[in-house]
Structure 1
Amino acid sequence: MKLFQPKYKDGDRLSLKDGQTLRLSVNTRARRISIRIDAREREAVVVAPSRSTLSQGVAFALQKADWIAQKLDSAVEAKPFMAGMSVGYLGQTLRLEAVAGVSAARLYDTETGPVLRAGGEGEAFSRRIENWFRRQARAFLLERTEHYLQKLGQGPVRVSIVDTRSRWGSCSPHNRSIRYSWRVVMAPRAVADYLAAHEVAHLVRADHSPEYWAVVTGLIGDHKPMRQWLKAHGAQLHAIGG
């Protein structure tokens, strides 16, 4: 028994080599200790199934310090929404414009393509653009959630739109609630649609067993391209509007 073993807790932050940060996270649904890179916060996150295993997670992270340093060095730098930027929206590309005297963001069709216009400068402009994306995410994901609930013969659920940095969505079957990251609507439509199917399927199977993936396949067919897209481009989406 290690009498002087450090007592770590969920949310603690530790310093690694070269001043890099390691954040500790407890996820009771995790099956094993893992490490991920939070590109927006430019820190590594060790995920453990319980508080009692956080010490093992820290030890694992220290062994992977060089790998963590390499990943953090190549992480995408977060940037706010700015006028002139082009941003994806369910398969479209929107150009952002700042317009004096305008408050909330609105989408316009122009001869050169769709334009999202909002007033303000700096943080105010970025916040108005983000609020527009959040509204669109709620509308789209509510509709797709209802669609898949009906396909599976499931009753209503409570849907929340959040800005999670560790996952794109989560489902709690015991209290029938689903959380989605609003950022998924910056992905192609099929990817955002897949996320709704993914979370609703957890109402049938709470794990990621072959039986669970069979439910997802029954809802949307081959889901692998959408999963691969999120894996390849997810860091960029989390960095936009940072």
Structure 2
Amino acid sequence: MKSSQPYRTGQRLPLEGGGELRLSVNPRARRISIRIDGRRGEAVAVAPSERHLADAVAFARSKSDWIAQRLTARPAGAALAPGAVIPFEGGSIRLEAAPGNGAARLVEGPDGRRIVSGGEGEAFARRVTNLLKRRARDRLAERTEVHRTALGQGPVSITINDAGTRWGSCTPRTRSIRYSWRVILAPPPVLDYLAAHEVAHLVHADHSPAYWSVVNRLIGDPRPHRAWLRTHGAALHAVGR
């Protein structure tokens, strides 16, 4: 009788080339796939059901060299500390310390913009993160409103989070949209694309040609923005790690 290893979603396995493999089940997945979670520094094998996890493990092990290369090449973390320069709205911005425990604020000056914050260590980083989240919410709420009005859609609720790999998600049934605050680190057209991407799901819940036609109607060709996120997304997820 042929035996098989009982795998389960969420399980982690060591890889021969180094690093870990996390198993994940996504019922919407059409095929087995491997992705790199730069935030956690691990590979993720995705299967449409638990009975396909063994095939996903075998596929991942056949790609162990590629996985090891991708994990090694992922960007190093960038601490949110005084003196650090981080990406911000398509450019870069310097973080500066201020006396006391005041909240972080965006300062415009002759030398450009900078983020100035009170606090030390983790408190400083937390204040800077809170400012970035507020900025992300303001910009995303604005662009969401523009796109949902253009489509004749009613109000939606917006949540700002820090998802591991997803930039956003939409639940049409509850009319709720979730965004990663880290998109405020990207150029404004990329942020606008993300808002259009999620709002378009209010019309089509899938990624069919009809769905992409709606996105195209809102912002034009989305492919450059998708490519930007694929190329630079891992670096944005490394900020503050």
TM-score, normalised to structure 2's length? 0.94
CA displacement at 1:31 relative to structure 2: 2.0
CA displacement at 1:20 relative to structure 2: 1.2
Aligned to 2:195: 196
> Residue deviations 1:181-211, cap 9 Å, x none?
1100100000001000001111111221211
> Residue deviations 1:1-35, cap 9 Å, x none?
95x43332322211111541111122233222111
Identify unmatched segments of 5+ residues in structure 1: none
Aligned to 1:41: 40
Counterpart check, 1:123 vs 2:109: no
Aligned to 2:20: 21
Aligned to 2:109: 110
Are the counterparts in 1 of residues 117 and 127 from structure 2 also a CA contact under 8 Å? yes
Equivalence map 1:1-242=2 (5 Å) = 4-242=3-241
CA displacement at 1:92 relative to structure 2: 4.1
How many residues matched?
241
Greater Cα offset, 21-30 or 66-75: 21-30
CA distance, structure 1, for counterparts of residue 195 and residue 59 of structure 2: 33
Are the counterparts in 2 of residues 162 and 179 from structure 1 also a CA contact under 8 Å? yes
CA displacement at 1:49 relative to structure 2: 2.2
Letter of the 1:186 partner, please give it. Answer: L
Are the counterparts in 2 of residues 169 and 181 from structure 1 also a CA contact under 8 Å? yes
Are the counterparts in 2 of residues 40 and 77 from structure 1 also a CA contact under 8 Å? no
CA displacement at 1:226 relative to structure 2: 0.9
Are the counterparts in 2 of residues 158 and 177 from structure 1 also a CA contact under 8 Å? yes
Q: Structure 1 runs of 4+ off > 4 angstroms?
A: none
CA distance, structure 1, for counterparts of residue 133 and residue 33 of structure 2: 30
Greater Cα offset, 58-67 or 9-18: 9-18
Are the counterparts in 2 of residues 40 and 76 from structure 1 also a CA contact under 8 Å? no
CA distance, structure 2, for counterparts of residue 16 and residue 93 of structure 1: 36
CA distance, structure 2, for counterparts of residue 202 and residue 115 of structure 1: 35
Letter of the 1:200 partner, please give it. Answer: V
Identify unmatched segments of 5+ residues in structure 2: none
Alignment partner of 2:78: what SS?
A: coil
CA distance, structure 2, for counterparts of residue 96 and residue 70 of structure 1: 32
TM-score, normalised to structure 1's length? 0.93
CA distance, structure 2, for counterparts of residue 143 and residue 8 of structure 1: 44
Alignment partner of 1:17: what SS?
A: coil
Identity %: 56
CA distance, structure 2, for counterparts of residue 93 and residue 78 of structure 1: 16
Letter of the 1:95 partner, please give it. Answer: R
Are the counterparts in 2 of residues 142 and 159 from structure 1 also a CA contact under 8 Å? yes
Please report the RMSD computed on the Cα atoms of aligned residues, expressed in angstroms: 1.6
